[in-house]
Structure 1
Amino acid sequence: MESNPHRPRKTLLIFLLGVVVALFFLAWSQASLNLSFIRPQSAAETIALLAVSALIFLAFVIFALILLRILLKLYVERRQAQLGSRFKTKMVAAFLGLSLVPVCFLFAFAYGLLNRSIDKWFGIPFDVVRKDATAIAQQLESDARESAVRGASQLSEDKGLARDMARRDIPSIESRLARQVSDLDLASAACFDAHGRLLARAGVPFPGVDVIARALPDLASGQEILARGPLVLHAADSTFILAARPLAGPRARNAGSVVSITSLPPGIEQMAAEIQRESEKYDHLSRERRAVKRTYFSVLALLTLLILFVAAWLSLFLSKQVTVPIQALIEATHEVSKGNLEFRVSARADVELGSLIHSFNEMTRQLLENRRAIEQAAQALQGANRELEKRGNTMEAILQNIPTGVIFFDAKKQITQINATVERIFGRKDVQSARSLTDLFSAEDAREIARLFRRAERQGVVTRQMDLDLGTRRAAVAVTLSSIRTNHLMVGSVMVLEDLSELLRAQKAAAWQEVAQRICHEIKNPLTPIQLSSERILRLAEREATRSHSLEWLGTVAQSASLIAREVATLKTLVDEFSDFARFPSSKPVLSNLNFIVEKALIVFDGRLEGIEVHRDLAFDLPPVQADPDQMKRAVVNLIDNAAEALEQSVPKEIWVSTQFDPEREVIEVVVADSGPGILEEAKEKLFLPYFSTKARGTGLGLAIVSRIVTEHHGGIRVEENRPTGTKFIIELPVERPVAASVET
């Protein structure tokens, strides 16, 4: 593997950048974070810190010069229109633009925020709070001292206490001390004899008994150590202030001393000391306010410069990662365009561009191999072409003499060949010049045939009877379309056309004759009961004309009228269904959602399927289909209604309605199944014929109408057994994927 000559330089730049970032962080932490462990403590450390600062400045100067050199070089390359210079310039401009705008906003915002914050730090409210806190702490201690001195004075003037001291009446002394502690709001009080021994005390325990005992003889001798000022003692987190006075006994003899003790709130002295220390720090910082602002401004400026430098350097680095391999590829393409397929790219690149270089080298290698293979195959192809020409002549003769029309299409659905029978079917001489579907068929027919092409691509072969516009006439034509594939690749299609006009004309004549006969038969059947009922009503009316109406007569009239109404309704239903079948409206398909159509069909039966449990399982996110929503709803309603009628004698009574998408065949299935008795195998073949019905009073037109609706939607319908019991009707509709359309919902 080749060594990259620029790698040492790149490594050095990355190393220097890391050193600068580390030194920058060191200086910033010293200036802004106030870290005591990196604060110089001696002249040597100060010199070292100055050296580090100088090194930081020197490094920034060096990197700025390197950056300036790179930018000047980029400018020269752009002026000379060198390959990749525009890309490098755009990368640098993009990175600097993306970095400069937010960094400048951040710099301005941070600088303003720091100024406001520093000004607030040294504002008047904070200074007043600091002074008031100090004064409060001092006042608390002063009040405690005065309370201790006042308590000691009042205890020394208590004559009863002096008498008790002279008599050494300890219980009385303790009782008096307890009352005085309560009255004078002291923390504690104590009595000592002339030798400094503790006789009695009351209140909370206090420390320093030995200290007091040593000071009391001096008090008695006139030195008055405690009398000059209260004694402050500390114990745990409490502070006690003690004041003492001598107690004169009978005949002015020294009877001992009394001590009054007050206490400060826990931790108050520590808080006062802390307030004092922080106040001194605050005064020091207040004097250095401008220096602090300058420090933060310098830090922000250096950080901004560092970000801009990193952005510019990174953009140049990334652009080189792209431009160098691309330049090598361009040189290689020039060589390949000259016919030099043995040229190889040797430039190194990252994973993506490295893959591209590897693919390019592999491509040139394969091109070289293919060139040699093509030269070898050229001779073989010449012999094959001669053989194909002979076969083509034979096929041409066959096509021109067969009775069906044949049209050949290429992979792009362009017409390549038409036989003579197509001219006879269309009755035109210009069909041989047709090259596309619209040249041969009308716009509507061309759209339908385009759908057949899509189905043929999915299914291989598809056949459909179509009513084609042949220019001078419309004719029923059987269209068979077959796709031609080679190694699973579609290379073309063959369309076979057969004119069915005469055949369909004969079939329609026979069908309508049968329909007319059946209609006459079905209409005559209800006439007999209608006539008999009418005659019976007439006779009863004549007989009862002169007499009062009886209940029996009224019942007979009601029964006859009911029979007439039922038979007339049957006759009307039959006529309506025949009319629907005979004059079935043409479908108007739009891009529709089958789930929505099925939901609307189910809404029709809300509250009408008493005792029948309906299960629905509609697939999520079905692709759209071309369908007439009203006609498809009618088909689904008809199937559900038939299923409900089939369940009259069945237990349990259940209907399943579901939709699903078959991605392999690209069709959507609508399934309506029931738990009824099922359909005989021999009846399934006739199930969709007109006037065939498995029900006693069925007209045989319902499923025929469903079949016709599905057929007009280019779909299919079939019937299967439902497991374990019942019948399953399956409607299949092809999926349509137009470029842009709105889905009917």
Structure 2
Amino acid sequence: MNSGGGPVAQRTAARTAGSRWALWTAIAVLVGLGLVLVFLLAQATNNRELYEQHYARLFVVNVVVATGLALVILWGVYRLFTRLRKGKFGSRLLIKLAAIFALVGVLPGLLIYTVSFQFVSRSIESWFDVKVEGALDSGLTLARTSLDTQARDFGNQLRAASSALADTPDALAALPLDQIRTQLGATDATLWSSSGRLIASAGQSRFDLTPERPSAQLMRNLRTQGVSTLIEGLDDVGNPQSPSAGQPRIRALVLVTSRSVGLVSEQRLLQAVQPLPSALVADALAVQEANREYQERALGRDGLRRMYIGTLTLTLFLAVFSAVLLAVMLGKQLATPLLMIADGVRQVAAGDLTPKLVMQGRDELVGLTRSFADMTQQLADARAIADTSMREAVAARTNLQTILDNLTAGVIVLDAQGTIQSTNPGATRVLRLPMAAYTGRSLGDLPGLDQFAQEVASQFELFEGERLEHGLDHWQHQFELYGHGGGGVATEAISLLARGAAMPDGLRLLVFDDITEVVSAQRSQAWGEVARRLAHEIKNPLTPIQLSAERLERRLNDKLEPADRAVLTKSVRTIVDQVDAMQRLVNEFRDYARLPTAQLQPVDLNELIGEVLHLYGSHADATRANGPALRFEPDARCPRIMGDAQQLRQVIHNLVQNALDATQDNEGVPSADTAVMIRTHWAEASGRVRMSVVDAGHGFTDAILKRVFEPYVTTKAKGTGLGLAVVKKIAEEHGARIDVSNRLHDGRVVGAQVSLSFEPAPA
């Protein structure tokens, strides 16, 4: 063989030449011994007296030759099993080939030996009791049949029970394996891989450091019969020195059929041991012992029979020797290229694609080694290219995943049915839902997103219909999300700007961002501009209108009749009052548009709320004389916050006044529920101070709740709707979070709640 170097090829060629010489020498010896034995057998047949005269010498020669042949056979078997114990690669294949060739040589010899033995026995000992012998043979056959039936039933039961392990992973096979052992009444059960690796064990083998692997005989029977059984220990009963002494048992081996299909899945073998019934074993041994004693007595009665049997036995030994020797030699010749290929396959499976050895020759097996070496080289080249491509793909995927993970926008990949395939952390932040937990579910199944899912699906349908016609590569749309959070409290609206595009394999890409703050800022900026224009355009003519009305009253008061004078006075008073109302309205718009920058300093929020409540003639747990009750529940643990005391007073005043107005207008609520509650709470988990104002009014409709912080949005009959807008601007100046929600009880709105969350002042 060659692999690019000469020494290896020379050593291999020398070993091959030595093997061939030993093979031809063994054949010559076997032919010589065979001719001698055939000659002696012919002489014994023709000259009985000569054979009996030299019987002692022939017997000694037979014993010596038989002993030598037996030692040679045992030495060959010992070498094979020594290789197997050392774990040398290819030992099992050599044993299998040796066993196959040995059977080819032994079976015909056994057949001839059996026929000759029966002929000698029946012709010489025809006087012997045939009925007794037949009865013993029938009993022995019946015992063996019973044992074989017991073993076959156990094998079928084990094969039926192995279905429980069909799709069970190796790591979880211990428990079902123990259940199978208990179900079948077995003392031991083991699960092996086809390569001889122990996967799991139950019973006595759990305490063995090296559990017994399935034997070669069991493996051969398994391949030919589907279920392999073997009765062990039957011949060793009563012999305590035997290594397999103990209760006779049935050893069964079945193939665990997996319902999964895979190119690299490894077959698994289930082996179990079941003790034989004591009564059946006793009966079988009794029949066997009776038959053995009968045969010994029969053999001891006639020396001539022993001579023939000795010759036949020596012939049998020769056949066995020749078969085993030929099996080893021929098996090695056949196995060498196969072992090289198998070893190369194992190296390739382990990732070793270095150049492989190639044998020299012209036969098909040698050509197979060359083809395997060429294939290995091609695999090495292909793997080098694949590794380069894989590294590039992994790098690109890593970069893409890093970009997706750090995007502020949300990204969701959907299939054609709207099922979520993957998301990024931005989607969790924008939608305020654990999106990773909903992978594999429909977008419409997410809480509060059913309407959003329908609108997204509609946009994709329109996009699919117009994409080819107009050459579009994406669609873009603005959505308003409005759902309900936990605790029966309605949450505010979220404005999303979404963009969709088609992906390969029918997937859909949805990218969206939260533009709620942007929309709110745009609306606030627009209302501020409106407020400035109103303050400028309306305030200027108000003073001339008021002065002109008062001047008309002074000029005409003395010139009119009393009735006309009263009408003039009333009309002028109406004009002046309405001008004052319009001036107050303009001032409120001016204040909203020109809200000063907050001067943040450490402030005690509980103390500040108490000061504001004193203006209402109320304090904690006090009830107003007129109107709803006003209660204050402070949390003494609240630290100081950073805030502008003047602006925070305005916030508290606006919220309390709105709560009182809403509660007083709701006459349908029982008096016990008409209290306006102000609470403070220190949330250690989030590290923020929370102030909540709770009323018992009618709450907000969905339409109002979506735009509650916009100017001139109100539910009161009187008022400009600038209260919550001013509160929103002040909260933004303080870096506080503000939430407005309805309070629900049994599905019915029982009031509203406004909450502000402040960061504590630095220690």
Same fold (TM over 0.5): no
Larger radius of gyration: 1
Question: Normalized against structure 2, the TM-score is what?
Answer: 0.29
Query: With CA pairs under 8 Å and 6+ residues apart, which has the higher RCO, 1 or 2?
Result: 2
Question: Normalized against structure 1, the TM-score is what?
Answer: 0.30
